Amino acid sequence: MMKIEQHRLRREHMARFLDDLEAQRRANASIYLPAGAQALHHVPEEVINRISRSKTGAALFLGEGLACAVIPPFPLPRSETFSGVSTAPLRALLERDRLIALIVVRLGDYGIGIFEGERRIGGKVGTGLVHARHRQGGSSSQRFARHREKQMEYLFERVCAHVRELLEPLGARLDHIIYGGEEHTLRAFRKQCPFLDRFEDRVLPWRLDIRKPRQTALEAAISEVWSSEVIEWSDSG
């Protein structure tokens, strides 16, 4: 019977995990798969399914008494295979203090955090009044809808101005952007903020789940951004 365990490790814990892998030297092979690459056929189906859903790829360490996969927080650039234990590609992802922007937009709140590694170096948070939807019909409802659209437009303009102020000086040095908020709100915001188009190739493909985008929430979120998922399996029979 196959036993599979999954857990998430923050950046500092992941470094110790990789140290232990190297010290034990139980892996016969280290295999790095970028997103979209096909996993090995002898890996359990549940693990294959998880790797296939990964948007950053996976690193596998396979050997006698050792079988684990690591889903890293940032995309692996290429396929690589090594004999024995090789953690260098994972360490390269995790050791450099990447410059990351977190942008969370909700109807009524917004938060922008600029982080070097896990250290906040800039940001802006605020509120903006956007009334809830009017549930009644008629002309009054139409007037309310137009008023609400104006409120949203004004909020998005403000947030876009703050984003530009914070991101424009970073230019090519910015490594990643991660968005948070409801999907339709983010879609409307990004449509109204074409400045962000220049960073499209640096957007990581997931959304932060932050209800109240205050600086403390952004600082808590960055630790999760840097976390890796570790999947370990063994034949318990």
Question: pLDDT tens, 32-91?
Answer: 999 988 767 678 888 988 999 999 999 999 987 779 999 999 999 999 999 999 999 999
CB 152 within 8 A of CB 108: no
CB 229 within 8 A of CB 55: no
Q: pTM for the complete prediction?
A: 0.86
CB 89 within 8 A of CB 197: no
CA-CA-CA-CA torsion for 187, 192, 196, 202, nearest 10 degrees? 10
Alpha-carbon distances of 121 from 33, 36, 124, 126, rounded to whole Å: 33, 34, 11, 17
pLDDT reported for residue 150 = 81
pLDDT reported for residue 99 = 98
Two tokens at 224? 């999760």
Domain ranges of the chain: 2-96, 99-225
Cα–Cα distance between 24 and 74 in angstroms, integer? 26
pLDDT reported for residue 180 = 95
As its CATH architecture, domain 99-225 has 2-Layer Sandwich (3.30)
pLDDT reported for residue 39 = 66
Residue ranges for the chain with pLDDT beneath 50: 131, 134, 138
For residue 58, what is the enclosing H or E element?
strand 58-63
pLDDT reported for residue 208 = 93
| Side-by-side strand order, sheet with 2-9 | 2-9, 228-235, 66-71, 58-63, 27-33, 80-83
| SS3 state of residue 50 | helix
